[in-house]
Amino acid sequence: MSRSTSTNPPVVDTWADNARDQALEVVRDGTGAPVTLMAHSAMGSIKESWRYGAGVPGTKVAFHFPGYGASAHPGGALTLDAAADSVGSVARRTGATRAVGVSLGASAVLRAMIRDPGLFSHVALILPFAADTPVPPAIQRRYNRAVAHGLNGNLKGAVDLVRPSLPPHARFDALADSITREAMRAGTFELLGTIPTFTPVPDRAVLSAVTARVLVIGHAHDPYHSLDVATRLSAAIPDAELHLAAPRSALTGRAGIARRLARFFDNPAPPAAR
């Protein structure tokens, strides 16, 4: 199994999503098998997912969902089906057999796996926010207020509400400000209106057909990414491993998550029976 240690610059490509005939921005790095797809969060980017993949063996393929980066704009809010179409298209075109999804990316990977339970052999779901039900109404309202602030150019209002939804390492003031400001500049808030209603799993029973080894990473005391979601997903997927990161633990930093992913993808053995 080869390491992603190529000294060549990543290969940037743009090609049509097979399902929707819309251009997707795709970046590839590393060499050899396996190929791992990296799917970013709602406030994230290729750069975000790339950093989580440090140490993942083989070739990494990161992409921007429709409306992000150089990917074609969907013409409105991003839908879960469009996000899942992107995952499936990139996986099939690049030969990816493994996947990492962060928050929104986790929902898209989940939906893609339900459509095709054998799509991936190994999957890591980082901070999944929904399973067979959307986020609670109170969180939906908080999220919608953040989107409204973002659309109206109210940086402070948006940051105050967005910060708890960010990966733990990104919640300190300067980075949260930077992420939110960039999202406002890029028009990302125009894409986010429907995300609180996403229900990636129509019925948890369908997860019994998933054949992939799955690592689910949750975080304690996170209002946007409930531990209950991570627990229910790991219980419903036959070959799943649950890791709950406590507040301020080493795992809540990006480097800690990257190390945990590297161990998961490097270990060919299944997790111990629960």
Burial of 14 (0-12, 13-18, 19+ CB in 10 A): middle
State the pLDDT at residue 4: 47
Picking from 186, 217, 188, the residue whose alpha carbon sits closest to that of residue 52 is 217
The total domain count for the chain is 1
State the pLDDT at residue 250: 43
Between residues 161 and 242, the one the model is more confident about: 242
Say if 272 falls within a structural domain. no
Say if 86 falls within a structural domain. yes
Q: Say whether pLDDT at 3 is over 70.
A: no
State the pLDDT at residue 272: 45
Distance CA 21, CA 222 (A): 37
For the chain, the average pLDDT equals: 86
Say if 273 falls within a structural domain. no
Give residue 179's pLDDT band: very low, low, confident or very high (50, 70, 90): confident
Say if 1 falls within a structural domain. no
Give residue 53's pLDDT band: very low, low, confident or very high (50, 70, 90): confident
Q: Say whether pLDDT at 14 is over 60.
A: yes
Say if 65 falls within a structural domain. yes
State the pLDDT at residue 5: 47
Tens-digit pLDDT profile for residues 228-256: 999 999 999 999 999 877 565 544 567 77
Cis peptide before 270 (omega within 30 of 0): no
CATH of the domain at 229: 3.40.50.1820
- Structural domain range at position 204: 11-266
Tens-digit pLDDT profile for residues 90-129: 999 999 999 999 999 999 999 999 999 999 999 999 999 9
Instruction: Name the one residue in this structure whose structure tokens are 């229900």.
Output: 199
